[in-house]
Amino acid sequence: MSLASINGQQRVVIEKITPQLDGGRFPIKTITNEIVNVEADVFADGHDYIAVRLFHKHQNDKKWHESPMRLIGNDRYVGSFQTIHQGSYQYAVEGWVDHLASWQHEIELKLKDRQYVNVELLVGAAQLDGLAKRASKEDKKGILEVAKIFRAPDRYDEATMLATSKQLADWGAQYPERQGAVRSAELGVVVDRARAQFSTWYSMFPRSAAKQEGQHGTFRDVIDLLPRIERMGFDVLYLPPIHPIGTKFRKGKNNNVNCQPDEPGVPYGIGSELGGHDAIHPDLGTLADFKALVAACHQHGMEIAMDLAIQCSPDHPWARDHKDWFKIRPDGSIQYAENPPKKYQDIYPVNFETPDWQALWLELKRVIFAWAEWGVRIIRVDNPHTKSFGFWEWLISETKAVYPDMIFLAEAFTRPKVMQQLAKLGYAQSYTYYTWRNTKAELTEYLTELTKTDMRHYYRPNFWPNTHDINPPVLQSGHEPAFITRFFMAATLSSNYGIFGPTYEYMVHDVFPGKEEYLNSEKYEIKHWDWEHTNKLTYIITQINKIRKENEALQLTNNLNFCGIDNDQLIAYLKTHANGNRILCVVNLDGNNRQAGVVNVPVHLIGKNPDQEYRVHDLLTGAQYVWRGGQGYVELDPNIVPFHLFRIEDIW
């Protein structure tokens, strides 16, 4: 180790800064107007006092903001800063040996021991001379005056008073020496807008929005449905791809390879002679119609989520103009999608190993920026895990540099590490395994992983009890309590959730044999719905969405804490907000039998003593009970309402 590469006078060590992802490789995530609490181990050799500061800076700030960090014990310091703006912040920790504070501490001990500290005062005077050089004009005068008193043998008593004064400490903190200061590496935070953390998704095929059966729905039809969707409490309207659909190898009803001439095809078979990812299916309307839909959504407090599926029908312009973006088979044809032994001749996957990857990336960026110009600020990405990680990191970073309000949702149902990586690379929200987590043990384990591990810092779950691709086993019976509880838990465990629209509301559940998919799936055919129809489930959805809007504890996910309950068919969880809002949910997972049990309420989390009374108020039914301390009895009949959504209220 060459001495030339070392600053031998640096004595401070900074370690274990939290939050921190993979040694700073990835930023953490938060939203605007949140507090980021930063902790670090900071220490020096010996017994000197140290000063520790937190630095932070928004991407547009020219200068760093600096604030003190305070010791919380065991050489660990804590500080915080607020994320005001969208975009990205950097933060870092700096520390140095605080000679003035050390000197003050030592002289205090010596004075208590009645030692004569004349030499120590001279040492202090020299320190003050240095301090004065960094001070404001006014303070400089004051500081030099104190130095003078330290040097005046006849003002000893005055000097010892000043030596231990708060004024001196304040000056030291304001004009620190920073000699041998050590600075940590810079860490990042991506700051999204609030909807990244709290959103309520409604998914529907716009072509099924027609008022008359047999007609192809349009964006104008969707506009007419917005009051209904808004009334139900949704704020994101997610549409599967709206682009022209290819005809070559087009799939028919129920994925039939023999497509009838009048069948509409699958929206994921993107591209025809009418255009690709930047074109709109003519039967849905024009670009003007789409822009009108975007505007109408805004008027209803909602916004559109587009679907980015990076794949092509054989008729897509890219398949003609950019054959080298695909794998070419030895016979010269483009390699269609496969999941051996299955073949999907209607889909060409893009080859991210293409030597022409730069042109491919730029074209995909062009598509995203075109959508952004149309007014789109949420993009649900289809199967992101089959496209290269590096591409996503670049694309999301490029997009957010211009559109910091853009939200990307990863529709990845794959292995845990892959899903986590996508979130680390920049996805603001992510699909989850919730769809298949049914038992109390499964739910508890999975939610604990999401909310108590590192994942809390970068992985924002979006819970879907069903999707247009997935008809999960738990719902295949069509049993109403299952639909209610699966919806309810999605909406209360996670602050982001969504449903595949009328299919869910009306409890459609016919199974394609041998698959977790819908029979007569809407992916392959146009449906017609009676949008006026209401039922118990639509009522509950509407009420719960309203309650979510009124209770901030339900607008967070990481504030989740499970409560013990002495019945394996009952699951109970508490969510608390810093503003005092406290929500306790209890769910009967048994769709057939009434279940009862005693909830263990963690009283310290609701600000109560073990012998204090409080009210639990069911915000759906209006029922109210008075509980005392850490235990509360519940009884839930799945055929009435299979859950309690209690707000915890103080009794005055």
Residues in contact with a copy of itself by the rule CB under 8 A: 1, 3, 6-11, 13, 15-16, 22-24, 41, 43, 45-47, 74-75, 97, 105-106, 109-110, 112-113, 115, 119, 122-123, 126, 179-180, 329-331, 338-341, 352-353, 355, 357-358, 361-362, 385-391, 393-394, 397-398, 415-418, 421
Q: How far apart are CA 89 and CA 78, in angstroms?
A: 18
CB neighbour list of residue 316: distance below 8 Å, 6 or more residues apart? 246, 270, 271, 272, 276, 348
Q: Report the greatest alpha carbon distance in the chain.
A: 108
Between CA 188 and CA 21 the distance in angstroms is: 9
Minimum gap (Å) between residue 101 Cβ and a copy of itself: 14
For the bound state, the minimum distance from the C-beta of residue 121 to a copy of itself, rounded and expressed in Å, comes to: 9
Q: Which is nearer to a copy of itself, 14 or 270 (CB)?
A: 14
Residue 517 backbone class (left: φ over 0; alpha: ψ -120 to 50; beta: rest): beta
> In sequence order, what DSSP letters do the residues of 586-601 get, joined into one string?
EEE--SSS-EEEEEE-
Instruction: Render 274-335 in DSSP notation, one character per residue.
Output: TBSTTS--TTT--HHHHHHHHHHHHHTT-EEEEEE--EE-TTSHHHHH-GGGSPBPTTSPBP
Nearest residue (CB) to a copy of itself, 453 versus 520: 453
**Closer CB to a copy of itself, 337 or 606, in the complex:** 337
Separation between Cα atoms, residue 100 and residue 164, nearest integer Å: 11
Question: Is 87:404 a contact under the CB 8 Å cutoff?
Answer: yes
Q: Which residues contact 336 (CB under 8 A, 6 or more apart)?
A: 249, 314, 343, 344, 345, 346, 347, 348, 349
Nearest approach, Cβ of residue 358 and a copy of itself (Å): 5
CB 459 → a copy of itself: shortest distance, Å? Answer: 14
Closest CA to 269 of 336, 351, 364, 339: 336
Give me the sign of the Cα torsion angle 564, 565, 571, 575: negative
The residue among 45 and 532 lying less far from a copy of itself, judged by its C-beta, is: 45
What is the rounded CA–CA span in Å between residue 102 and residue 12?
14
Q: Is the peptide bond before 19 cis (omega within 30 degrees of 0)?
A: yes
Closer to a copy of itself at the Cβ: 364 or 484? 364
Nearer to a copy of itself, 124 or 465 (CB): 124
Cis, peptide link before residue 341, omega less than 30° from 0: yes
**CB of 386: closest distance to a copy of itself in angstroms?**
5
3-state secondary structure 149-168: HHHCHHHHHHHHHHHCCHHH
Tokens of 378: 């949420």
Tell me what percent of the chain is helix, strand and coil, each rounded to the nearest 5.
35, 25, 40
Please, what is the minimum distance in Å from the beta carbon of residue 621 to a copy of itself?
Answer: 43
Residue 299, exposed/middle/buried by CB under 10 A (0-12, 13-18, 19+)? Answer: exposed
d(CA 144, CA 125): 8
Phi, psi of 555 (to 5 degrees): -100, 10
Q: Which is nearer to a copy of itself, 113 or 262 (CB)?
A: 113
Q: Could you give the count of Cα atoms lying within 13 Å of 453 in the half-sphere of its Cβ?
A: 10
What does each C-alpha distance from 348 to 193, 268, 412, 413, 579 come to in angstroms?
35, 11, 19, 20, 51
Q: Which of 39, 303, 382, 522 is catalytic?
A: 382
Distance CA 476, CA 109 (A): 76
The torsion angle over the Cα atoms of residues 351, 355, 360 and 362, rounded to 10 degrees, is: 150
| 3-class DSSP state of 549 | helix
601's tokens:
């309420």
To a copy of itself, the closest distance from the beta carbon of 414 in angstroms equals: 9
In the complex, least distance from residue 159 CB atom to a copy of itself, rounded to whole angstroms: 14
Contact 427, 396 (CB under 8 A): yes
Find, among 506, 592, 586, the residue nearest to 541 by Cα: 506
Q: How far is the CB of 330 from a copy of itself (least distance, A)?
A: 4
411 given a catalytic annotation? yes
Q: How many CA atoms lie within 13 A of 331 on its CB side?
A: 4
120, 303, 307, 411: the catalytic one is 411
At position 5, the amino acid (one-letter code) is S
3-state class (DSSP) for residue 142: helix
Cβ nearer to a copy of itself, comparing 119 with 651: 119
* Residue 262 annotated among the catalytic residues of the structure: no
**Between 26 and 234, whose beta carbon lies closer to a copy of itself?**
26
CB of residue 441 vs a copy of itself: minimum separation in angstroms?
A: 19
| Nearest approach, Cβ of residue 191 and a copy of itself (Å) | 18
Q: Which is nearer to a copy of itself, 12 or 507 (CB)?
A: 12
- With respect to a copy of itself, which residue has the nearer C-beta, 90 or 215? 90
Q: Which is nearer to a copy of itself, 324 or 393 (CB)?
A: 393
Q: How far is the CB of 181 from a copy of itself (least distance, A)?
A: 13
What are the residue numbers of the active site? 382, 411
